[in-house]
Amino acid sequence: MAIVFNENKRTFSLHTAKTTYQLKIGNLNYVKHLYYGTTIEDEDLIYLIRRYDRGFSGNPYDSLKERTFSLDAQPQEFTTQQQGDFRINSIEVQNGDGSFSFNGRYVSHKMYSGPFTLNGLPTAYATEDDTVDTLELVIEDAITKVQVTLLYSVFEEKDIIMRAARVHNGGTETIRLKRIMSINMDYMNGKNLDIVSLPGRYGQERQVERQPLTHHVYKVRSGRGISSHQQNPFIALVDRSANELYGSCYGFALMYSGSFIAEVELDQYDQCRLVMGVNDRLFSYAVAPGEDFDTPAVLMTYTHKGLSRMSNNYHHFIRHNLNRSKFVREVRRPVLINTWEAAFFDFDDKKIVEIAKAAKNMGVEMIVMDDGWFGKRDDDNSSLGDWHVNEKKIKCGLPALVQQINDLGLKFGIWFEPEMVSEDSDLYRAHPDWAMEIPGRRAVRSRNQLALDVSRREVQDYLIESINKILDSANIYYVKWDINRAITDLWSNVLPSDRQGEVSHRYVLGLYRIMDGIIKTHPDIMFEGCAGGGGRFDTAMLTYFVQYWSSDNTKPLDNLKLHYGSSFIYPVSTMGAHVSAASPMVPIETKAAIAMCGTFGYELDATKLDKDQIESCRKMSELYHKYYDLNFYGDYYRLANPFEQVNLVAWECLARDKSEALVTVITVNLTVNGPQEYIKCRGLDPKKKYRIEGDGNNLVASGMALMHAGIPIPREIPEFTAFLYHLKAVE
């Protein structure tokens, strides 16, 4: 069993292959957190907690005047409310009598095989090779009968623990959740921890920031209704001395696609607390007697072997345990070209076929018809919600257009933006109440569109039916699912005034139901997510989409930073990346090398390329397939940090059996008569010899030499040159 309960000591030890997480039913039946770190056998670690009289820290009434026991200084698995703990908390509940109080104490637990599931929310699943055990531990307020079930699923071989919480109202009056977190994580000493997060903005998503914890509350949050360009629902707490190869790293990824919050507090005693869950801003959720509320899951991992190992734990898990689509591992994804930057709204069926014919010579295997094919849409002012083909543009009809593309030997993809509505649309004219607009107020426009209230069942059913009708009408191989605005004007015309605080979360639950009804009913279609680029790139989305468009910014040098930051949690196989016409000073070969640190494709007008450019693209498309397995399934290593003042940016994708690797080097700042640069590999078998193909040489060196001495990078080269070093083990 991955979970061991010691009945005498009342400890639960959760074991993965390389880690142990321990909690204990402690004094007065409060559940205490004892340890999370490198594997320790099943011994009681309660000795780590020392109790002192902490002045002005209150004591539970039934502690019998024991002044050394205060929840303000105890490491807990889930916090109480108004019980003397003044740190950031996990729950804020307003009881039926109007009071704000929750005093949760252990009442029961159960253990079983397999991962937990949540009502209406995505979770990870177990593969045939996984050993997964689950603990459900119930704490209860004896007065109100409100229960919180703490859920832990231990993916033993993957070094991942999935956590969530379920609130059950066992009382007789409706309660209101003002705040409910998925996870509470207490560290007995956090003064030497740094917090790593992935902030950004539109076009510059998932940059990297690392800062030492001080005695403050750190907030990483989105209040935009989507997980957002500005923040990502992932943070890590790492030792101050931790680097890519060494040091303790704790990762936390929230499986949620709406407004979220993660808070970290270093308290007065240098203890550290982390909470993570649904953003409590504009949130108030009624739970009637007998009802439950499930929080989103958190994917948690620990390693003492640095940031690279933390990332690879996540990469391996995301590739195997989130998405059941055949396009994750069974079927290779095609090289695609998207029509957006080639035509924007100005196209017809003949233009699509013309681009497809030219693109085929580039090694392209699929063309994607982007925005503008539906309703009467010639710009971004109309027709969202009218999901029927504009036959003034697609004169031959969608089935015939798709057949023409298929006859060229190419696959066909199409773009949707299901969650939005244009005021100039048949849908809005028929159902203005379906849009999110607060009564008596004009709604905020963004990209000239409004958000549909997808919390409503009839809206969900309309979108499922109308989009499925399009998908079933032709041989569509791929869908790009977009959202191009944040959610404002939170209001639902079907909820009473005192329940409008539920709209934001209900929106996300409705979205997941829509995706269940479209994506999961079309297993032969490859779905890619997009949110004005990478504005909703999260682990919950990756249970539906095999890949996510990383950013609308296709400038290759910007993408070096974007891919670097994304790689802290997301594998190459999920990062949508294309070669575009942006940055003409960068060679197309270099653009392609950078795009191969992603899912690879083209975002340009193939009809305007010359023969040399087309030939270069064809060769790079071939390289994408040649190195597909390494890039999509290999262990990823960040070799040079683009946020530092360096001359080179580099990364490595290593086969899990260490038999081969692909090292990509991009020169970004060549100086006159500068020093010789070297790139040191990682993760190789030190005893093996590797043949190195790249830069015209054919060298053989040991894994030990390549990791500690490195590969010399030629100097007399044009700016922005890319090198692809293929390392292959030899006898």
Task: Establish whether 552 is a catalytic residue.
Answer: yes
Tokens of 532: 């004005």
pLDDT confidence bin for 184, thresholds 50/70/90: very high
Task: Establish whether 346 is a catalytic residue.
Answer: no
For the chain, percent of residues with pLDDT exceeding 70 = 100
pLDDT confidence bin for 54, thresholds 50/70/90: confident
Residue 645 has pLDDT above 80, yes or no: no
Domains of the chain in start order, with CATH, are: 3-321 (2.70.98.60), 326-633 (3.20.20.70), 636-730 (2.60.40.1180)
- Distance from C-alpha of 264 to C-alpha of 542, rounded to nearest angstrom: 26
Using alpha carbons, list the distances in angstroms from residue 417 to 169, 397, 617.
37, 20, 30
Using CB atoms within 10 Å of the CB of residue 397, give its burial: 0 to 12 exposed, 13 to 18 middle, 19+ buried. Answer: middle
Q: Which residue among 386, 482, 489, 538 is the active-site one?
A: 482
pLDDT at 672: 81
Residues 287-292 have a mean pLDDT of 98
Q: Which residue among 130, 159, 489, 552 is the active-site one?
A: 552
pLDDT at 731: 79
Q: For tokens 């233009």, what's the residue?
A: 351
Return the exposure string of 99-123: e unless at least 16 CB atoms fall within 10 Å of the residue's CB, then b. eebbbbbbeebebeeebbbbeebbb
Q: Are strands 478-481 and 411-416 parallel, antiparallel or unpaired?
A: parallel
Residues 556-573 have a mean pLDDT of 97
Q: For tokens 């019998």, what's the residue?
A: 64
- 638 against 53, higher pLDDT: 638
What is the DSSP annotation of 442-473?
A: PPPPBTTBEEB-TTSHHHHHHHHHHHHHHHTT
How do residues 390-420 score in pLDDT, each as one tens digit?
999 999 999 999 999 999 999 999 999 999 9
pLDDT confidence bin for 74, thresholds 50/70/90: very high
pLDDT at 51: 85
